[in-house]
Structure 1
Amino acid sequence: MKAVSYRAYGGPEVLEYGELPRPKIAPDSVLIEVRAAAVNPVDWKAQAGYLDPLLDAVFPVVPGWDVAGVVVEQGVDAPEFAVGDEVIGYVRKDVLSGGTFAEYVAAPVRTLARKPANLSFEQAAGLPLAGLTAYQALRAADVGEGDTVLVHAAAGGVGSLGVQLARHLGARVIGTASERNHDYLRSLGAEPVTYGDGLADRVRALAPEGVHAVMDFVGDGAARTTPQLAAEGGARLVSIADPETAAALGGRLLWVRPDAADLTALAHLAEQGVLTVDVAEVFPLEKTADAHRLSAQGHTRGKIVVRVR
């Protein structure tokens, strides 16, 4: 099969496009013919070796954890899906090895859900990791009706889904983004503010009584303003990228988990029109390195996707 892989840690230059063996499937897995795979910052960070203290790498590593595709083979104990089913998945495994930037990926059924019928494969590929991150972060912060929520990096892949989910839960959302993305955030139901110096004053101008929850989807110290912005009784902080600040402020660091039930819930919300996935750019499989370069710039609105078939 055609695949993108790397044989040593490094930047985009270590990615190779070529032939690799078609993966075998475990009893509780299915083989997916990949139609599209989304790029996430964790892909190029793992490739650079940043996750080496957490996950072993079995080289050559095929990167990628997000997938949308079609089941072409069932494991002997995988009754949840049949050949021909269209599925999506956050296919994170216990080692870095057989990822989704390939024509085929073996995926445990615990990582999968049925693809929303109203989304293209490219849109659907952008839902699992980002959607699960936002969904689990909002649940960890117990966001609900009447809350005011500050979402950092609200126009990004995770942030844009977080805005939509928080609004669906009945929360008021204030989102940080560059000015060029403010109209986009308004279209999602958020009140935009520009990040950077003076952020606390700008948020306080919109929410004089403070915010009840802070979703830090960017790191870089963005969450440090939380004590200045907290409503009476404090603000519930969840960060996906800044463990030091989360710990110092009594918040929580969230490492998103594959969860078939959560992913199914997200798929249903997408089919109901509650969630939309904004695809910023689509690359062919052989241009995955360029997709990683664009992701590493950190300025993309929505999702970057690799089209495989």
Structure 2
Amino acid sequence: MRTTMNVLLTGNNLALRAGERPVPVPGSDQLLVRTRALALNNADLAHGGDERIAGYEFSGEVIGVGSGVDAGLVGARVAGTTPAAFAQYVVVHHRHVITIPESVSFEDAASLPTALLTESGALSVAGVGAGDSVLITAAASGIGLIGVQLARLMGAAPVIATTRSAHKRALLERIGADTAITTGEQDLVAAVLEATAGQGVSAVLDHVAGEMIAAVVPATRLGGKIISVGRLGGSEATVDLYALAARQATLQSVSYGFTPPETIGDLLAALESRVLPALADGRIKAVVDTVLPFADAASAVERLGSGQALGKIVLRMP
């Protein structure tokens, strides 16, 4: 095997750029994966800090294992999440991957791990199950698109989705949203109350934060839950606590980082029994806007930053 690999670097306030680094060696509890596809996330648009290998999401084949890991995993098709993912070879904690069904391409698989673990985790915190109603804000984001599908898989109805772009409403309806709301053109609270017979939703998965947190409170039913998942509108929010108390609602913020490793491991393991079978038979589908070659990372970043993408942006590895 070669000793160096092609990578995409970030940091020093520069855009993604090509580089070369030594091929990593898997340590204890790690897999070595030959990547086949990489997926971009909004975090990849930030280029601050020291120079480092970019990216967090990938798919590929296991070609080596470290101590404490079952050697039978060599050859497995996997998708996972780890820092420094934008490289030909990636080391990743063995619990931070999922096995890819044969029916799912590497390009589709690369777009899934972050969204699956984040949205399934948030829906679990909200206690969503059959008969619950769910509002998902910024649902046309790469993560939100999976959230809509997972809410339907868990039996939620209606599933209500918001977007700032009217042209994305059709996509939201196609993947399973019962009602798609264009914020800025429609009254969010009125539309949600109309879709829930005046009751409001059982749970909100909010990916916006900022002013959106306060906006969804009156759209929540008595005793409902508001889960802050993303911070597209900023990490700070002002909420009328009297309004929150009047709805007897619970507001909780979640974030699924890379430490401790058990957090992501437990979330991904929870997908095995229900979500991965749904992925295999097509009830859950990746939504990929564009697949570009690894060498065209600049176009991928431009497409992601445009806000026009209908799904994830993926790079195909050579």
- TM-score between the two structures when normalised by the length of structure 1: 0.86
- Per the alignment, do residues 108 and 146 of structure 1 end up closer, same or farther by CA in structure 2, a change over 3 Å counting? same
- Per the alignment, do residues 154 and 26 of structure 1 end up closer, same or farther by CA in structure 2, a change over 3 Å counting? same
The DSSP-based 3-state class of the residue aligned with 1:212 is strand
The DSSP-based 3-state class of the residue aligned with 1:251 is strand
1:279 corresponding residue in structure 2: 288
- Give yes or no for the alignment of 1:84 onto 2:75: yes
CA distance in 2, matches of 1:297, 1:251: 31
Shift of 1:306: 1.0
CA distance in 1, matches of 2:252, 2:143: 17
Q: Which has the higher contact order (CA 8 A, sep 6+)?
A: 1
**What does the per-residue CA deviation read over 1:79-119, in whole Å, with 9 as the maximum and x for residues that have no partner?**
17532111111124xxxxxx111111111102112112111
The DSSP-based 3-state class of the residue aligned with 2:146 is helix
Question: Among 214, 236, 249, which residue is 1:244 paired with?
Answer: 236
Shift of 1:44: 2.4
Shift of 1:11: 4.5
CA distance in 1, matches of 2:236, 2:31: 38
**What does the per-residue CA deviation read over 1:144-173, in whole Å, with 9 as the maximum and x for residues that have no partner?**
111111110112211111111101111120
- Give yes or no for the alignment of 1:114 onto 2:99: yes
CA distance in 2, matches of 1:71, 1:252: 37
1:53 corresponding residue in structure 2: none
- Per the alignment, do residues 235 and 263 of structure 1 end up closer, same or farther by CA in structure 2, a change over 3 Å counting? closer
Matches within 5 A, 1:291-302: 291-302=300-311
2:175 corresponding residue in structure 1: 188
2:312 corresponding residue in structure 1: 303
The DSSP-based 3-state class of the residue aligned with 1:299 is coil
- Per the alignment, do residues 251 and 289 of structure 1 end up closer, same or farther by CA in structure 2, a change over 3 Å counting? farther
- Per the alignment, do residues 246 and 284 of structure 1 end up closer, same or farther by CA in structure 2, a change over 3 Å counting? farther
CA contact (8 A) 2:209 2:228 kept: no
CA contact (8 A) 1:141 1:237 kept: yes
CA contact (8 A) 1:4 1:286 kept: no
Q: Which moved more, 1:240-249 or 1:189-198?
A: 240-249
Alignment length, in residue pairs?
Answer: 290
CA contact (8 A) 2:137 2:144 kept: yes
1:3 corresponding residue in structure 2: 7
CA distance in 2, matches of 1:87, 1:237: 29
CA contact (8 A) 1:91 1:112 kept: no
**What does the per-residue CA deviation read over 1:213-251, in whole Å, with 9 as the maximum and x for residues that have no partner?**
111123342232122112123443333225533887652
Unaligned runs of at least 5 residues, structure 1: 50-58, 93-98
The DSSP-based 3-state class of the residue aligned with 1:225 is helix
Letter aligned with residue 315 of structure 2: V
- Give yes or no for the alignment of 1:176 onto 2:148: no
- TM-score between the two structures when normalised by the length of structure 2: 0.84
Question: Among 110, 114, 137, which residue is 1:152 paired with?
Answer: 137
Matches within 5 A, 1:216-231: 216-231=206-221
Q: Runs in 1 of length 4+ with deviation above 6 angstroms? A: none
Letter aligned with residue 174 of structure 2: S
CA distance in 1, matches of 2:176, 2:271: 23
- Give yes or no for the alignment of 1:258 onto 2:271: no
- Give yes or no for the alignment of 1:206 onto 2:195: yes
1:71 corresponding residue in structure 2: 62
Unaligned runs of at least 5 residues, structure 2: 245-249, 257-262
CA distance in 2, matches of 1:80, 1:129: 25
Structure 1 vs Structure 2 CA RMSD: 2.1
